Amino acid sequence: MTKLLLFGLVKRDAAESVLPLAKSWISPPHAQLLPENSGSVEYDPTERAFHVQRNADAPGKSLDIRLEGSPEHPLVNPVLVVDHWSAPARVQVFAGGREIEARPRIGIEHHPEGDWLIVLLECIAQQEVRIALEPAPK
């Protein structure tokens, strides 16, 4: 049996700010790669991250990920783990049809079977969000 807990300290008047974070973890938004046949996205609550598994012909290509945020399924500082991506990336985040500032933190994690791109986005949304990843020039 696995038990996951979210705990920490907040000021009394800031307790409501923890609710969206807890909802985003317990009931994350549905995620999907675009186009739909390019791979899959699964949420891992133990890492609080969306794992992106691309089809074999996808490495090196751009990715579009749609996260269907809502008040019941908010998006709070999402993390993306993209398999078989070893280059720096350029990240754009769109909400409501407009690009939003999300200040990405990007890293590469090395594994024997291939490198993973790790992206942390500093953003909070209760609407559909689209994340565009593309290889950045070296």
Query: How many CA atoms are closer than 13 Å to the CA of 137, on its beta-carbon side?
Result: 0
Report if residue 131 sits inside a domain.
yes
Cβ atoms of residues 129 and 97 within 8 Å = no
Angle among Cα 101, 18, 104 to the nearest 5 degrees reads 25
How far is Cα of residue 71 from the mean position of the Cα atoms in its chain? Answer: 17
Average pLDDT (34-51) is 90
Query: Taking every pair of C-alpha atoms in the chain, what is the biggest distance, in angstroms?
Result: 51
Report if residue 5 sits inside a domain.
no
Summarize pLDDT for 83-102 with one digit per residue, the tens.
988 788 899 999 988 999 88
Report if residue 1 sits inside a domain.
no
Report if residue 123 sits inside a domain.
yes
Angle among Cα 9, 14, 18 to the nearest 5 degrees reads 70
Query: Is residue 20 scored above 80 in pLDDT?
Result: yes
Cα distance between residue 54 and residue 119, in whole Å: 16
Identity at 133, one-letter amino acid code: L
Report if residue 3 sits inside a domain.
no
The pTM assigned to this predicted structure is 0.86
The domain of 70 spans 12-135
Average pLDDT (32-58) is 87
The enclosing domain of 109 has a CATH number of: 2.60.40
